[in-house]
Amino acid sequence: MEAATLEHWYALYGYAVHRRCVRLLQSEAEAEDALHEVFLRAWRYAHTLQGEEPLPWLYRIADRHCLDVLRRRARQVPTEDVKGPLPEEASAPDTSEQMHLFGQVLAACKERVRDAAVLYYLDELTQDEVAESLGCSRKTVKERLAQFKTVAARLLTGGRAKRGTG
């Protein structure tokens, strides 16, 4: 990848990637670091982008990096600090506390479940749109979202979910 292309992407997509990192991490400082890491990885792995639009690809890099940060954070947080009420109806996290809990649940899920949950809850895509984006059926999306809810229930009501479940 040429430096000019990366600079162009940063100018076009840097703000959106930064906002996504802020939303996941709930920290401006960590989001700023994450933004730089995303574009460093984009530079390093540009050869893997084959005919795909850059923004969804950059979002996936950001999601994975931010989830790594959240996992590291989760190892340092006592179990009683992440317990909380399970919402009656699933919806996008809209407070800092909800986003923190959402990140804890994401960190405990398998990648395929995380991808579906991020697209559905954060990006607010419909299940049909999530299915199209992930290249799977709507039924599969429903199953993955159900797995996400199961991990959330276990984590938020009974202590830590086993890492990698769901």
Least confident of 1-5, 61-65, 116-120, 141-145: 1-5
Q: What is the pTM of this model?
A: 0.66
| Pair 166, 147: CB distance under 8 Å | yes
Q: Report the pLDDT averaged over residues 118-137.
A: 88
- Which residue in 102, 18, 113, 100 sits closest to 65, CA to CA? 18
- Which of the pair, 8 or 80, is modelled with greater confidence? 8
**For residue 129, which amino acid is it?**
E
Q: For residue 92, count other CB atoms closer than 10 A to its CB.
A: 13
Q: Residue 142, class by beta-carbon neighbours within 10 Å (0-12 exposed, 13-18 middle, 19+ buried)?
A: middle
In this model, does residue 162 exceed pLDDT 90?
A: no
C-alpha distances (whole Å) from 151 to each of 25, 52, 121, 158 are 20, 31, 15, 10
Q: How does residue 159 score in pLDDT terms, banded at 50, 70 and 90?
A: low
Q: Give pLDDT, residue 71.
A: 77
In this model, does residue 94 exceed pLDDT 80?
A: no
In this model, does residue 91 exceed pLDDT 80?
A: no
The alpha helices in 77-165, defined as continuous H runs, are 79-82, 96-107, 111-117, 127-134, 138-158
- pLDDT tens column, 22-32: 988 888 999 99
**118, two tokens:** 């991020």
| Pair 25, 69: CB distance under 8 Å | yes
Q: Give pLDDT, residue 48.
A: 82
- Which residue in 107, 68, 100 sits closest to 84, CA to CA? 100
C-alpha distances (whole Å) from 166 to each of 37, 108, 114, 137, 151 are 27, 8, 9, 18, 6
In this model, does residue 73 exceed pLDDT 50?
A: yes
